[in-house]
Amino acid sequence: MRLFEIAQIEEDPVESSWLQDLSYDEKTNNVIMSTRRDDYVIYNVPFETYQGWVDAGSKGTYFHRFIKNNYRILPK
């Protein structure tokens, strides 16, 4: 019996004036988003959506177009 499991978290480098870091938890499908001010959890994001965000030329535009009103976002 295991008392805990190690989370499978994928971190990708982010080049953005707004975002500091994006990490994807493969076990929960949650994204950890770190901005200059706060950290947030974005719940139940498909990996393809996360990867599109990482690959986007403008992380802020992608966030407002595909993430902000489509997923539950709470401060970490």
Q: What is the pLDDT of residue 71?
A: 98
Cα–Cα distance for residue pair 56/20, rounded to 1 Å: 15
Break the chain into its structural domains and give their ranges. 9-75
Predicted TM-score of the model (pTM): 0.81
Q: What is the pLDDT of residue 5?
A: 44
Q: What is the pLDDT of residue 12?
A: 59
Q: Which of 46, 64, 44, 50 is nearest to 21 (CA)?
A: 50
Q: What is the pLDDT of residue 8?
A: 61
Chain segment 19-75, per-residue pLDDT in tens: 888 999 999 999 999 998 999 999 999 999 999 999 999 999 999 999 999 999 999
